[in-house]
Amino acid sequence: MRWLVQDPKERGNIPMTLYTMQNKFLSIQVAKPDQTNLIISFFKSHLRVDDPAIYSEEFLCRSGVITAIRRKNVIITCVNDKIVGACRFYRKRNGDVSLYQFAISKEYRGQHLLLRMLEILGNVQVNVKCPSGIDFNDYYKKTGWSLERTSGQLNQWVSVSKDFLSTLDRGNFPVLHPPSGKNPGLKSQND
């Protein structure tokens, strides 16, 4: 897949990065409150209670997602107005970020969308926990995270670099170019 990138824009004080991919518009932005039901539905359809990566029922908590959206702690990726990726995070007092949960639609996996979403946060260190005995830890290894420690049954992964995309093998990373043509706005459920 070829990705085309446009410089980050401000949309109502919400950072947004626009891309085009195979004639589809892709946007990455901090979620807005009027997108809450769409985001809850997305997480509900992509996170399963029986998934070993879901080690806490909090990941499935509707109220937690609503609160995170209100605090501007959810980033979404949309393709032609459909959510294809979302991540929920919390800022620590020291400025670091804890990645709480994320989901990417199956057809967009392998495109480093999580790392692209995390770039919106700026120059921060991101921490994430993952149950130590599951294959999903391979994802963090492959995408440039460093295993900081294992505590109990959880591995704690840390972003190796505050410049996420620089940690990737450029040979496997989609090429980025400026888009041409009209840039659509992301529609909310109230549009």
Give the separation between CA 127 and CA 146, rounded to whole angstroms: 10
5 pLDDT more than 50: no
Nearest to 111 by CA among 41, 9, 21: 21
According to DSSP, the residues that pair with 150 across neighbouring strands are 155
pLDDT tens per residue, range 42-87: 999 988 777 767 666 676 778 999 999 999 999 999 988 899 999 9
Radius of gyration, alpha carbons of the chain: 16
Give the separation between CA 174 and CA 116, rounded to whole angstroms: 12
Nearest to 5 by CA among 185, 177, 183, 182: 177
The lowest-confidence range among 4-13, 72-81, 136-145 is: 4-13
* Cβ-Cβ contacts under 8 Å for 135 (sequence gap 6 or more): none
Determine how β-strand 3-5 pairs with β-strand 145-151. unpaired
What is the largest distance, in Å, between two alpha-carbon atoms of the chain? 52
Give the residue extent of every domain in the chain. Answer: 3-172
Instruction: Spell out a b/e string for 31-40, using b for 16 or more CB atoms within 10 Å of the CB, else e.
Output: bbeebbebbb
pTM of the model: 0.76
Under a CB-based contact definition with an 8 Å cutoff, are residues 117 and 75 in contact?
yes
pLDDT tens per residue, range 161-182: 555 555 544 444 444 333 444 4
Q: Which one is the CATH code of 3-172: 3.40.50.10860, 3.40.50.720, 1.20.1440.230, 3.40.630.30?
A: 3.40.630.30
Three-state SS at 156: strand
Could you give the percent of the chain with pLDDT greater than 70?
Answer: 68
Residue 16: its pLDDT value, please?
63
